[in-house]
Structure formats: C-alpha cells, structure tokens
Amino acid sequence: MTPPSGLVQSSTHDGAAGARIREIRRDGGLTQQELAAAVEVSRQTIIAMEKGDYAPSVYLALKVARTLGVTVEELWGASAS
C-alpha cells in the first residue's frame, strides 16, 4: 500500500514538473539516490518531487536545478503557464 503523501505537498499536483525532473535526471545519468545525495535530501524526497507530491522550497528547487544543469523555470515554470 502506498503511504499517504501527507498534507505538505504541492497545492496543485505537479506531475509535469516531476516528469521533467525524472527525464532530465535520467538524461544526466543520475540515479535518484545520487541526486538526493547531491542536493542533501533523502531519496524519498526526490521520489515525492518526481511524483509531483512535494513542492520543494525555493532553496531546494535551486539546488536541484543547478545539480541537473537547468534553471528552476525549466523544471517548474512551464507547468504554471
């Protein structure tokens, strides 16, 4: 059974951003564990972001974007339009 993601999550389920994170991460040859280590969070947090269940703080979003070599706008911006 999948545990509930909890109350702290994106107000709008952002699966598109999550899919972009997963795609760019895979293109960059990173595993979820490696990305997690690079941005200093748990693998579960990366999984939650990729599922669109967790909207990270600005600080974490910047870390993720920089680690993946893209901008925050490229990851989370397009789905807002």
Residues 8 and 20: their CA atoms lie apart, in Å, by 21
Q: Which stretch binds other proteins (CB under 8 A): 13-21, 26-34, 53-61, 68-76?
A: 53-61
Residue 75 contacts residue 21 (beta carbons within 8 Å): yes
Q: Which stretch binds other proteins (CB under 8 A): 12-20, 24-32, 51-59, 72-80?
A: 51-59
Q: Which of 27, 42, 73, 77 binds other proteins (CB under 8 A)?
A: 42
What lies within 8 Å, CB to CB, of 81 at 6+ separation is none
Residue 54 contacts residue 8 (beta carbons within 8 Å): yes
Q: Which of 2, 7, 11, 81 binds other proteins (CB under 8 A)?
A: 7
Residues 22 and 76: their CA atoms lie apart, in Å, by 12
Applying CB under 8 A, does 59 fall inside the site for other proteins? Answer: yes
Residues lying near other proteins in the complex (CB under 8 A) are found at 6-8, 40-42, 44-45, 48, 54, 56-57, 59-60
